[in-house]
Every structure is written in C-alpha cells, then in structure tokens.
Amino acid sequence: MSIEKFDINSTVRIMLNQNLEMLYSNVSRDMANSYLEKLAVLENLKDKSMQYCNDGYYVIIDKLVLSGQPYYLIIIIIKNDCSSCTKALKDDVTGLFNRHFLNQIMKDKIPCLKTSYSSLIMADIDNLKEINDMLGHLEGDKAIQIVGDAIRKCIRKEDIAVRYGGDEFIILLPNIKKETAKKVILRIKKEIENITKEQNINIGISAGIACNNSLLNIEEMIKIADKDLYKEKKIKKSKEKSNNEKLNRLFREIEQLKSELNTKVIQDSGGINAEETLKISKKLDELIVKYIKDKK
C-alpha cells in the first residue's frame, strides 16, 4: 500500500517501546508501519528527541522515559501544514508538553503510562491577571515561561509536565507518593523564587495533589488535584485578608501618631519637650518599619 494513498488530514501518532514494538497508533497498524518505513523513522531513532522533514512530511520523534523504560513517540504531519507542527506535541511558550498531548495520548490509555501508583500535581499562577494588567501580556508570557522552566528543572526525566491551558500546569509523577509530590512542589516554588529574584518580577503559584492506586484515571485525578489547589488558594486569600486588616490597623496607628507628634510640636512651639517628642517619633519609626515588613 502506497503512503501517498493514505488520508493524513489529521496528525498521525505512533508509540513504540524499546524493542520497537508498536504499542499504539491512531491509524491502522499497516498504515503506521508504512509511514515508519517510508519516512525512515526507525533509522532516525536516537537517544535525544529530534525533528526532520522527509518526502513532504514533518516528523517529530520524542524519546520518553516512563517507569524507568524508554519509549518513542512519533508525530507525523504534512510538511506544508507546519503551522500545527509545534502544536502536535509541545507548548510554544514553555516547551512543556501541551494539552493536546495529554488528551490524545493519555486518554488513549497507553499501557506504558500505567503504574501501580502515581501522583498528579496541578498548579497555576496566583497573580497572572495582575501581571498582565499592570505590565502587559508579554510579561505575562514571561511569567508562564518562568514557571515552565522551574517545573522542568525540578522533575525527573520520566515525569510528564504539561501546560494544561492559560496559567495552569499538570505534572504526572509515576511511582511517586504524596509526601514526595509535596517536596516537588516546594522545589518548584523555591526555583521560581530564585528566578524571580534575578529577574525582578513577582510570581506566586498554588498547587494541588492527587494520588492514585491504579483505580483513578487521569481525568479523576485532575479533578481531585484541582480541588486541592483551590484549598490552598482559599487559605492564601484568608491570610491576605487578615494581613490587609492588620496593615490597615498599623496604618491607622501611624497616622494617629503622626497627628499626635504634629500637635505636640505646635503646642510646645514656645519650648519643645524634646524627650517626649523623641519618644513619639521613635514609636512612629518602629511602626513604619513594621508596616513595611508586613507589607512585603
């Protein structure tokens, strides 16, 4: 059967194991084997991911390590439709996998993605809207890129990180339990803090965790992690409200002391009581310092 006769209106996706056995294909096995042969895919399997063009097609080969075993994900696209090449596998802002990968690969229930237990982290950026509104959408994209870089640096090769949409990220951690997943989140937050200090931009993230025991599917885990994420957001909002009330009380104390100090200076204009004025001034300084520290 000739490859030219195949209908390739949609992206072709093929998964091979380390023995080059086909685990999955969204086209027939015969058709998939014809693509592999015609486009010299097997000859181009390397230790690293790669992309190349062949006979009017665009081929993306990505090597994955899942549960300690290597697998090959092959994406084949019409060459003259390269506008969709990056969309087939990776997010163009972060370089992480995109939602298309999550939906099309994980929902197809690839056997190698199943482990006896795993954890899923869902995270989003707390203040992306504020960054977009105050600094513009280019800075918003920069914030998303920083979070993506931090995630990539803090996970293993066999972990799967996805930009789920907008400012939302999903990380699938095979053979990782909840306590270890919590440590991964802490590492990511610390890495973001380190990057943002260097680049002078304020970025915060919230994250939730879901764990399975081979009974939950990815969709159920996402729902559980999403609820866990919003618990953290709720706690943060409560703390923020409490801090704002505390800051407002401090500010009122400062204003009251300033007024008291000004009144004292006016009343003692004939002979200022330096000791009392200094005492009020010192207390005012202490409150201002406290206000600044609490505001950070």
Terminal CA-to-CA distance of the chain, rounded, Å? 67
pLDDT at 157: 84
Of the candidates 51, 24, 47, the one whose C-alpha atom is nearest the C-alpha of residue 39 is: 51
Alpha carbon distance 87, 107 (integer Å):
17
Per-residue pLDDT reduced to its tens digit, 154-204: 999 888 899 998 999 999 998 899 999 999 999 999 999 999 988 888 899
Q: What is the pLDDT of residues 32-75, one digit of tens each?
A: 999 999 998 998 887 777 888 887 788 888 888 776 778 888 98
> What average pLDDT score do residues 2-13 get?
57
Is 60 contained in some domain? Answer: yes
Based on the fold, state whether residues 232 and 245 are members of the same structural domain: no
- Residue 186 CB neighbour total at 10 angstroms: 12
> Is residue 43 located within the same domain as residue 116?
no
pLDDT tens digits for range 213-262: 666 788 889 999 999 999 999 888 777 666 666 667 766 776 776 676 66
d(CA 285, CA 279): 10
Residue 216 CA to residue 29 CA, distance in Å, equals: 29
Q: Based on the domain organization, do 79 and 139 belong to the same domain?
A: no
Cα(113)–Cα(67) distance, rounded to whole angstroms? 8
Same domain, 279 and 253: yes
Share of the chain above pLDDT 90, in %: 31
Task: Looking at the structure, tell me whether residues 227 and 127 fall in a common domain.
Answer: yes
Per-residue pLDDT, averaged over 6-13, amounts to: 63
| CA–CA distance, 157 with 153 (Å, rounded to integer) | 10
22-25 β-sheet, strand order: 22-25, 12-17, 69-78, 57-66, 50-54
Query: Is residue 265 one of the residues assigned to a domain?
Result: yes
Is 92 a catalytic site residue? no
Q: Is the pTM of this model over 0.75?
A: no
Residue 155 placed within a domain = yes
Mean pLDDT, the chain, whole residue set? 79
Catalytic pick among 124, 167, 226, 268: 167
Q: Write the CATH number for 214.
A: 3.30.70.270
Residue 47 lies in a domain: yes
Domain boundary among 236, 253, 274: 236
Domain count, the chain: 3
- What pLDDT does 71 receive? 87
Residue 204 lies in a domain: yes
Q: Pick the last residue of a domain from 198, 216, 236.
A: 236
Residue 94 lies in a domain: no
Range of the domain at 252: 241-295
